[in-house]
Amino acid sequence: MRKTGWMRRLGICAVLLAGMMAVGQAAQAQQDTDFSKVQIKVTKVSGNIYMLEGEGGNIAASVGEDGIVLVDDQFAPLAEKIQAALKDLKITDKPVRFVINTHYHGDHTGGNAPFANAGSTVIAQDNVRKRLESGGTGGNGGSIKMEIPPAPKSALPVITFEHDVTVHLNGEDIRALHFPAGHTDGDAVIFFPKNNVVHMGDDFVRYGFPFIDVASGGSVQGMIAAMEKASAMLPPDVKVIPGHGALSNLDDVREFVKMLKETSAAVQKALDEHKTLEQMKQEKILEPWKKWSGGFIDSDKFIETLYNSLTGSKGEFLKHN
């Protein structure tokens, strides 16, 4: 994918997510977005694995004679467009049999209800169901805060797993593996070993500094561990679908992890020197990594995120778990 294309789409996504956090309601973000104008772009990744981009998190699709498996499903108003895009592939007339969620955020799970109502089985890690069912407050423990209402019963995963689960479909062993305390406490990385593809969810994104939902059990330490462990399990030429952004490879993941380690070390050094959060911001301690500050998480917000991750603080926003 050409840079200009994904930069434009990420700009739209950043506006949407920033709006979510400003008003504190995912529902408001949906009201403010004209989904009728969203187009679903389909890219063949490898074999029978496709990546779908629209509004929200990237979707992976295994499409074959046994049916379709989706990884994530964006927002509810896009479900029909996603179905239409899959039908346009003219590979199968079989339905979407399974949807696997990488985590609980609405830009990845908003389509759960319409797909479930159409007959799909939704699968996710245990904590995804818990957080969807209860709702609560997410954020980085600082200036980023979003109120997440409970999801309707039809949107809840009906199959959950603690550590891992495998779906055997279309000649592929599609494995969802839980990596705790990264982007959230319910993250799953999805492996398509036969096709040499992996979907990293929001543990790896391409919009710059990542949003880490500290209030929902996420941490920078967990995100680093997840990406290092997942990368060690993969062949060097694997195709990587990020939670947001362009199709990637392991070099991109390694660069992302290097940034996470270096910025964490910079904040830890400031902590060891007994500097306050405000002092870290005033001293612009993340200036050497300013190229990563182009998304909706700027340097100050990422300093907050790292500070709360490294000190174990979840801020004032945690309401459950």
Q: CA 119 to CA 132: how far, in whole Å?
A: 19
| pLDDT greater than 60 at residue 57 | yes
Q: Which residues pair with 191 in a beta bridge?
A: 175, 198
Q: CA 198 to CA 249: how far, in whole Å?
A: 10
> Where do the structural domains in the chain lie, given as residue ranges?
3-311
| pLDDT greater than 70 at residue 179 | yes
Place of tokens 């994904």: 6
207 CB-side CA count, 13 A: 26
Tell me which amino acid residue 173 is: D
Q: Which residues pair with 192 in a beta bridge?
A: 197
Q: CA 17 to CA 100: how far, in whole Å?
A: 22
Those residues with Cβ within 8 angstroms of residue 249's Cβ, 6 or more apart along the chain or in another chain: 237, 238, 239, 240
| 8 Å CB contact between 199 and 190 | yes
314 CB-side CA count, 13 A: 17
DSSP 76: G
| 8 Å CB contact between 296 and 211 | yes
Banded model confidence at residue 13, pLDDT cuts 50, 70, 90: very low
Classify domain 3-311 by CATH architecture.
Answer: 4-Layer Sandwich (3.60)
Place of tokens 């992996």: 198
Quote the crossing angle between the two packed helices 299-311 and 250-272, to the nearest 10°.
Answer: 70
Q: CA 177 to CA 20: how far, in whole Å?
A: 28
Structure tokens of 288? 């050497």
Banded model confidence at residue 314, pLDDT cuts 50, 70, 90: low
Structure tokens of 174? 């599609």
| pLDDT greater than 70 at residue 320 | no
- The pLDDT of residue 295 is 84
| pLDDT greater than 80 at residue 29 | no
- The pLDDT of residue 296 is 86
**What is the arithmetic mean of pLDDT over 263-276?**
98
- Comparing CA positions, the residue from 232, 239, 212 lying closest to residue 295 is 212
